[in-house]
Chains A and B, each alone.
Chain A
Amino acid sequence: MKRACAYVTLFLSALAGIPPAHAVTLTLQIRDTRGAAVEDAVVYLMSNQSHRMPVKNTTLRIDQVDKTFVPLVSVAQTGTRVSFPNKDNIRHHVYSFSSAKKFEIKLYADTPSQPVLFDKPGVVVMGCNIHDNMVAHLLLVDTPFFAQSDRQGNARIDGLPPGDYSLIAWYYMRPDKDAGEIPLSLKTDTTRTLTITTRNLE
């Protein structure tokens, strides 16, 4: 079997000054191997203390609009509760058999009364038992420092205490690839370009 190497290449393009003692910002420009901007790529930073840090945003919402999960890709800190409001006038049956979180919300309309708590890190792929084409990807990370690239491929992580981190990138189209870790010592605001492989290399 082809175990495509998921190597994430990180190019440090520039270093800008000595970081201050307060929080710093990491700005990443994510490109694929052809140099095109990659949207919905997730990047997060792990440090020694990161898994002990409190959950920043306790709730997340993944809507169902026009038989589509919105957003397609989400990232959240472990322990986040996610609500699944049904914006369609039909009912959905959201489920996940992912090991990070197995759950189902049987046929419902509107917003289910209880959000779902995702208490383990990992990838959760969710679908609708009624509508086979509906799929949503949720990455749960043990760190509050994460970001998701926008259409321009930019991702920004704010409020980072200066220190040493490991930078990990994840792309939903290649969910099983071992995320290579890029050690990163952040003292000041830093901007980097990150090139990831979005397709299997045959």
Chain B
Amino acid sequence: MKFLPFKTLQGRIFGFFFGLLLITQLGSILITSTIGYSIMGRMLGDELRSGKQVFMRLFEQNTAFLGQGARILAADYGFREAVGSNDADTIVSALDNHSARIKADLMLFIGRDGEVYQSAVKSRKNIDISGLRWLDPTQPPRDALALIERIDGQLYQLIAVPVTAPLPIGIVVAGFRIDATTAKDIGNITHTEVSFISHGNRSDWQINASTLPAPLAATLGQALNTNQIGEKTIDELQTQQGRYLGLRASLPSPDGQAAGVVLQKSLDRSLEPFYDLRNKLLILGAIGLILSALSSLAIARGISRPIKALAGFATKIAQGDYGEKPLIASTTEIAELSDAFDYMSREIASRETHILQLAYSDTLTGLPNRAMFHDRLQQAIIMTGRVGKPLTVMLMDLDHFKYVNDSLGHHIGDLLLKEVASRLKHTLQRESDTVARLGGDEFAILLPTADIPNARKVARALLSALEAPMTLDGQIIDVRGSIGMASSPQHGSDITALLRCADVAMYQAKRNSSGFAEYDTHYDHNTLERLSLMSELREAVEHNHLVLYYQPKVDLKTSLTYSVEALVRWVHPQRGLVPPDSFIPFAEQTGYIKAITNWVLNEGVKQCAAWKRDGIDVNISINISARDLMNADLPVYFAALLQEYGCPPERICLEITESAILDDPAHAMENLRRLEDIGCKLSIDDYGTGYSSLAYLKRLPVGELKIDRSFVMNMMNDPNDVIIVRSTIDLAHNLGLRVVAEGVENEAILNQLCKLGCDQAQGFLFSKAVSADDFTAWISTQLWRDQVKVACRI
């Protein structure tokens, strides 16, 4: 395509102007030539016609002059007397005299009897006048008779005049010879080529006298004999010396002969000025074409070069290079176009920046988003690899954010996120630290130069920054977050691994309500282990490697009622007993908890039914995770289990953590109702570690509240914990709830709980979690009764 010149703007402009001028020039030259030719032809025609008139006039004048001379002679008395007396000498001398007077080339007298007397002045030699036989001296012309006649090979203009005395006695003939000189003289007057022509009886035209050079005269003769020169028309004749326009006129001649004159003008000679003009036009045209070619090239390049520059500019823009616009000294339009390009470039750049911001930042909080965080983390990992200094990644999410969102609205939720973002951002001290929002209530913090001890300080600072209550739209809201920390290279050298570790740690922190936690291989060894853990866990469920252990709960009021909390244990074929902390959080993260819960429910209900059959009257508490609570299928499955094993629903108590409800209260509440409808009991687990929202507590269809072991175990050391426990017990009782205390490890605690009116107690004091068989054995010992009786003084 490049080779087609007219595909380019430059080529088109050039082609257009050049072509236009070429056509104009050629046209003007053509028109000039054509008009010149036609004008010249017409002018020549007119000149020839007027030349003919001039010629005729001359011819008539000559005739008149001749006639006058002849008539003078014819009328001369002496001459007539000489004729009358047949005085030959006198006649001849008179002829001589008169022919000299009018400078005639021929003068003669023909007597009535046919005798001829001839003047001998011009030519001593007598002219053969046999050609004049047509003149009958007995019947002379009445008046002068003018003729062109060929005599003796020469053409003569003759006039014959009668001589009377008073009757005719003879004829005087006077003549001028027509020769080249005559033709030349006439030609000088008419400004034409003059050729005298004649032909005799049945003979060809001859050129008798001509101003033409011999070869042209010959050409003319041929043309005459082929009738190429008409009488009435202007005819063109091609000769060796160019084109001639010619006009023929007949001259009076004797019968049987013809005479005439051809006037000609050289068309080419007349056209010479036009040819000259044409040549000048050609030169001018050529110069014009060259100039126009150069200037149109210049214009075209003046247009196309800036366009090319702009095209280059545009290509650069396309490649993301928003440099300066090309400096183009050009026309206003191009300059405007250039400015427009520049403006466009800047706009694109700013929009790109904006898009990048959108792409790399979170619109709500203005913090970097996940993509940017990943980028920075990637950079930081590379830097870490290079410099050898560790980095730390934190993941933080807000506890019970869903609760805030659901109860106070998304608007408040958004304000909360913004406020949190702002506080996090202001808490970070180093420029290089990054806080990003990954989505929802999940934030990530990158500390590119901090090891875990440093990170701990930062985490504490962040958490304490969130502690101050927030006032959002007039609502005072408390927010807490859980932070998980992972460090590179210690915990991994790629983004996915680090974030996963941080995530595991965060979950741990949340689970422990510890605010923050660093990743520990204890939680999660490594990715491969996790993967194998996953498949092993699945295998465990399928092959019954899981077992339920039961920890008894002792009724402090009666010391009679038996109830147990079912706790899952994994008897790994290679590792032995795996504690629940090692796989339950993982199962919760991966969603596999559902399968485990189902297994536990199945096993628990089956055991409950078995004990019932054995006459052991035991209530079993089963832990339900937050995820399970969201599972709408759970009540159906649970009801089916009860049905299958024939277990009365009131024998089963489902323990739910407070936080599990607060994550999505609406769904949780719905499912709790359905479970309640089935007839089972519901219990709030780990009470006191979460929000401990009284509002929810009031509305929940629970019958039992379990005080978290952290308060119970610490009661003997911290009076505040005693207050918490006491007030919790009072609160629960006031709400009509039974209170269970976990973590009862010694008799002092038991004694205290009894005093505080706690309903049930669970702990190592009585028994650790044991297998079903061991539990059966434990019941039979009845040891715990004495303990209770002593402690509670029953």
Cα A125 to Cα B167 in complex, Å, equals 7
Is B83 among interface residues, defined by CB-CB distance under 8 A?
yes
Cα A102 to Cα B82 in complex, Å, equals 12
- List chain B residues, Cβ under 8 A from A125: 165-167
Cα A127 to Cα B75 in complex, Å, equals 12
Q: Which of A49-57, A129-137, A160-168 participates in binding chain B? A: A129-137
Q: Would you call the interface of chain A mostly helix, strand, loop, or mixed?
A: loop
The B136-168 residues at the A interface (CB cut-off 8 A) are: 136, 138, 164-167
With beta carbons under 8 angstroms apart, the residue of A1, A102, A128, A175 that contacts B166 is A128
- List chain B residues, Cβ under 8 A from A97: 80-81, 83-85, 165, 169
- List chain A residues, Cβ under 8 A from B136: 1
- List chain B residues, Cβ under 8 A from A133: 166
Is B77 among interface residues, defined by CB-CB distance under 8 A?
yes
Report the interface size class on chain A.
10 to 19
Task: Mark contacts of A79-105 with chain B using CB atoms, 8 A cut-off: 1 yes-contact digit, 0 otherwise.
Answer: 000000000000000010110001000
- List chain B residues, Cβ under 8 A from A134: 166
Cα A129 to Cα B166 in complex, Å, equals 8
Cα A133 to Cα B166 in complex, Å, equals 7
With beta carbons under 8 angstroms apart, the residue of B83, B85, B164 that contacts A127 is B164
Asked whether, in the complex, the Cβ of A102 is within 8 Å of the Cβ of B85, the reply is yes
Cα A1 to Cα B136 in complex, Å, equals 9
Report A116 CB to chain B, min CB distance, Å.
Answer: 16
- List chain A residues, Cβ under 8 A from B84: 97-98, 102
Cα A98 to Cα B165 in complex, Å, equals 9
- List chain A residues, Cβ under 8 A from B75: 132
The B154-199 residues at the A interface (CB cut-off 8 A) are: 164-167, 169
Cα A98 to Cα B164 in complex, Å, equals 12
Contact flag A132-B164 (CB < 8 Å), given A1-B138, A97-B85, A97-B169? yes
Report A40 CB to chain B, min CB distance, Å.
Answer: 15
Cα A43 to Cα B81 in complex, Å, equals 30
- List chain A residues, Cβ under 8 A from B81: 97
Residue of B whose beta carbon sits closest to that of A131:
B166
- List chain A residues, Cβ under 8 A from B114: 1
Asked whether, in the complex, the Cβ of B166 is within 8 Å of the Cβ of A127, the reply is yes
- List chain B residues, Cβ under 8 A from A128: 166
Cα A65 to Cα B319 in complex, Å, equals 133
- List chain B residues, Cβ under 8 A from A132: 75, 164, 166
Candidate in A97, A125, A129 with the most chain B CB atoms within 10 angstroms:
A97
Residues of B within 8 Å of A, CB-based: how many?
15
Cα A135 to Cα B164 in complex, Å, equals 10
Report B195 CB to chain A, min CB distance, Å.
Answer: 38
Asked whether, in the complex, the Cβ of A95 is within 8 Å of the Cβ of B77, the reply is yes
Cα A129 to Cα B164 in complex, Å, equals 10
- List chain B residues, Cβ under 8 A from A175: 167
Cα A166 to Cα B696 in complex, Å, equals 196
Residue of A whose beta carbon sits closest to that of B77:
A129
- List chain A residues, Cβ under 8 A from B164: 127, 132
Report B112 CB to chain A, min CB distance, Å.
Answer: 9
Candidate in B81, B138, B164, B166 with the most chain A CB atoms within 10 angstroms:
B166
Cα A185 to Cα B319 in complex, Å, equals 155
Task: Mark contacts of A184-196 with chain B using CB atoms, 8 A cut-off: 1 yes-contact digit, 0 otherwise.
Answer: 0000000000000
- List chain A residues, Cβ under 8 A from B138: 1
- List chain A residues, Cβ under 8 A from B166: 125-128, 132-135
Task: Mark contacts of B66-79 with chain A using CB atoms, 8 A cut-off: 1 yes-contact digit, 0 otherwise.
Answer: 00000000010100
Report A188 CB to chain B, min CB distance, Å.
Answer: 40
Candidate in B114, B136, B164 with the most chain A CB atoms within 10 angstroms:
B164
Report A141 CB to chain B, min CB distance, Å.
Answer: 20
Cα A135 to Cα B167 in complex, Å, equals 8
Residue of A whose beta carbon sits closest to that of B167:
A125
Report A35 CB to chain B, min CB distance, Å.
Answer: 27
- List chain A residues, Cβ under 8 A from B167: 125, 127, 135, 175
The A119-158 residues at the B interface (CB cut-off 8 A) are: 125-129, 132-135
Cα A128 to Cα B81 in complex, Å, equals 13
Task: Mark contacts of B529-554 with chain A using CB atoms, 8 A cut-off: 1 yes-contact digit, 0 otherwise.
Answer: 00000000000000000000000000
Report A187 CB to chain B, min CB distance, Å.
Answer: 40
Cα A100 to Cα B77 in complex, Å, equals 19
Residue of A whose beta carbon sits closest to that of B169:
A97
Cα A97 to Cα B80 in complex, Å, equals 8
Cα A150 to Cα B169 in complex, Å, equals 29
- List chain A residues, Cβ under 8 A from B85: 97, 102
Cα A1 to Cα B75 in complex, Å, equals 26
- List chain A residues, Cβ under 8 A from B83: 97
Cα A132 to Cα B114 in complex, Å, equals 23
Report B410 CB to chain A, min CB distance, Å.
Answer: 147
Cα A201 to Cα B267 in complex, Å, equals 57
Residue of A whose beta carbon sits closest to that of B138:
A1
Report B249 CB to chain A, min CB distance, Å.
Answer: 34
Cα A126 to Cα B164 in complex, Å, equals 11
- List chain A residues, Cβ under 8 A from B165: 95, 97, 125, 127
Cα A133 to Cα B169 in complex, Å, equals 15
Cα A132 to Cα B138 in complex, Å, equals 19
Cα A185 to Cα B114 in complex, Å, equals 41
Report A136 CB to chain B, min CB distance, Å.
Answer: 9
Cα A134 to Cα B164 in complex, Å, equals 11
- List chain A residues, Cβ under 8 A from B80: 97
Cα A102 to Cα B169 in complex, Å, equals 15
Cα A135 to Cα B81 in complex, Å, equals 16
Report B207 CB to chain A, min CB distance, Å.
Answer: 36
Cα A1 to Cα B139 in complex, Å, equals 10
Cα A135 to Cα B169 in complex, Å, equals 14
Task: Mark contacts of B39-83 with chain A using CB atoms, 8 A cut-off: 1 yes-contact digit, 0 otherwise.
Answer: 000000000000000000000000000000000000101001101
Residue of B whose beta carbon sits closest to that of A69:
B166
Cα A112 to Cα B165 in complex, Å, equals 21
Report B287 CB to chain A, min CB distance, Å.
Answer: 77
Cα A97 to Cα B78 in complex, Å, equals 11
Report B132 CB to chain A, min CB distance, Å.
Answer: 15
Report A173 CB to chain B, min CB distance, Å.
Answer: 10
Cα A122 to Cα B553 in complex, Å, equals 207
- List chain B residues, Cβ under 8 A from A1: 114, 136, 138
Report B594 CB to chain A, min CB distance, Å.
Answer: 159
- List chain A residues, Cβ under 8 A from B77: 95, 129
Cα A125 to Cα B138 in complex, Å, equals 16
The B78-132 residues at the A interface (CB cut-off 8 A) are: 80-81, 83-85, 114
18 residue pairs bridging A and B, Cβ less than 8 Å apart:
A1-B114, A1-B136, A1-B138, A95-B77, A95-B165, A97-B81, A97-B84, A97-B85, A97-B165, A97-B169, A98-B84, A102-B84, A102-B85, A125-B167, A127-B166, A128-B166, A132-B166, A175-B167
Q: Can you add 20 more A-B contacts, CB < 8 Å, to A97-B81, A97-B169, A102-B84? A: A1-B114, A1-B136, A1-B138, A95-B77, A97-B80, A97-B83, A98-B84, A102-B85, A125-B165, A125-B166, A125-B167, A127-B165, A127-B166, A128-B166, A129-B77, A132-B166, A133-B166, A134-B166, A135-B166, A135-B167
Pairs of residues from A and B, 3 with the lowest C-beta to C-beta distance, nearest first: A97-B84, A127-B166, A135-B166
